[in-house]
Structure 1
């Protein structure tokens, strides 16, 4: 993926072709960067699995996921070289077969990630904050990946055609390829399921980053040294992330651009922000010491 990112970066610089409103090499470039982050995070999570049996199953699941990812990227890059789109392409029997093969690799990739998520849910990881950050982020990432299955549904306009050259779409309410956010390409005129897909999948990196931030702040905030406080903060962060993921998914399905929400979406976002703030205050309160600790402290004071 690192090599493909470099090749794609060269394509962005040297190849001026544009496809569906974006530079033709933008898709393999973004996908390869995403897979780099995804692979590094999964490799770290697999290293947390205890026991030889869990590690062996995790190795096989990781290997299947790697092969499926590689096939997916080879097909995307092949279509870029051919000068045609990879996703939703049914213009010719060959293009349709390529897209069907890509769909199969995505299903295999998702199932391999599901196996890893189940292993992580069952694993006994000593640090509870780390354990729940890994578990919850992997579940949110699975939900984010599943948004991709929604994109392959034909739009009403496509269903009205006898043999549509394109089946499925990223955008909701507007055609693909319209005005979009620079670099990312997310639609600025309608809903875009790629936002939820991206945000959900990268919970795998962003939720564990909360742990790194807490570790960095611990020397300056003694309260964070308590594992119960760290666990609460991880739970609040994960819950807030899941809520925002649900919100941007719903917003896209309603055909709303990310930066042009309606009053209901704004109200929901405000509710998520308020609950996150309240949860953070709750998480940071000083936990009551265990009953056994209180008893020991009283004995020491009496002595």
Structure 2
């Protein structure tokens, strides 16, 4: 995937072809970079398993092969100068999209197996255990948003023999005004937003805990950080962050399904976002309360 990301980056520069409003090599570039982060995260999580490593190895291997097939087909369609997703223009294009759908299903099921293994694993650090478990479940939910994209839109259902079935955008056609780099729609909803946000919980939640642990190690120099040395505090902060992340993911999905652009929220979306911020802030403040009065030097020891 690293090699393909480099090849795609060169393609963006030297190949002037455009597809759905963006340089044609943008999709393989974004997918390969995402798979790099996804694969590294899952590999690290599998290394934490005290048992079930053989099942984890098989699940990881199947996931890797499915990812590779997916990227080969995406790159093939780029070389041919046509869309890989939703494409029904020719029998060959339809077959490619059907195979891609099958590989995504296999990939998702493999990730589910890994998530189940992580749920059952006895990881010594409770905060890390729950960061890994909840992030893997949120990543599964984020990946599942992709299945919503393959549904025919109302406009597609109204026309026989439509060349495309499914879309990233909601309420507006794909290829319209979009954000730079991400390509997300700016005039309507876009299911790629919750898809991206959910899947990258796999990196962000464990990273948050690693930051909290690093700060706790500095409690001798900075007494204000002493509370983070308490494993119970780190666990409660992890659970709070996971709940806030899940609520934000649900909000982004709801916003996209209503055909609403990310930066054009209505009153209901703003009210829900405000509620998440207030509830998350209050829960974080409560999480920082230690069960017993702990002296900074004792916490360090």
* TM bin (shorter chain): over 0.9
What do you get for the CA RMSD once the two structures are aligned? 1.0
Stretches (4+) displaced over 2 A: none
Mapped pair 1:146 → 2:144:
yes
Residue aligning to 2:274: 270
Deviation by residue 1:235-258 (Cα, 9 ceiling, x = unmatched): 001000000000000000000000
With the length of structure 1 as denominator, give the TM-score of the two structures.
Answer: 0.94
For each residue in 1:62-85, what CA deviation from the matched residue of structure 2 results, as whole angstroms up to 9, or x when unmatched?
000000000000000000000000
Q: 1:156 aligns with which of 151, 154, 157?
A: 154
Contact 2:135 2:202 in 1 (8 A): yes
Gaps of 5+ in 1: 290-303
1:237 to 241, 246, 249: 241
Q: What do residues 269-302 of structure 1 show as CA deviations (whole Å, max 9, x unaligned)? A: 000000110011011012238xxxxxxxxxxxxx
TM norm structure 2: 0.95
State the alpha-carbon separation in 1 of the partners of residues 124 and 211 from structure 2. 19
Report 1:94-113 matches (<5 A).
94-113=92-111
Structure 2 residue corresponding to 1:123, chosen from 99, 108, 121: 121
1:60 correspondence with 2:61:
no
Rg (Cα) greater in structure: 1
CA distance in 1, matches of 2:283, 2:207: 18
Q: 1:224 aligns with which of 225, 228, 239?
A: 228
| CA distance in structure 2 between the partners assigned to 1:115 and 1:7 by the alignment | 32
**Who is 1:48 aligned against?**
48
Task: Could you tell me which runs of 5 or more consecutive residues in structure 2 were left unpaired when the two chains were aligned.
Answer: 294-301
1:20 paired to 2:20? yes
Partner residue of 1:8? 8
In structure 1, distance between residues paired with 2:179 and 2:248: 19
SS in structure 1 at match of 2:287: helix
Can you list the C-alpha shifts for 1:112-146, whole angstroms capped at 9, x where unaligned? 00000000000000000000000000000000000
Paired positions, count? 288
1:36 aligns to 2:40 (yes or no): no
Taking the aligned partners of 2:235 and 2:151, their CA distance within structure 1 comes to 39
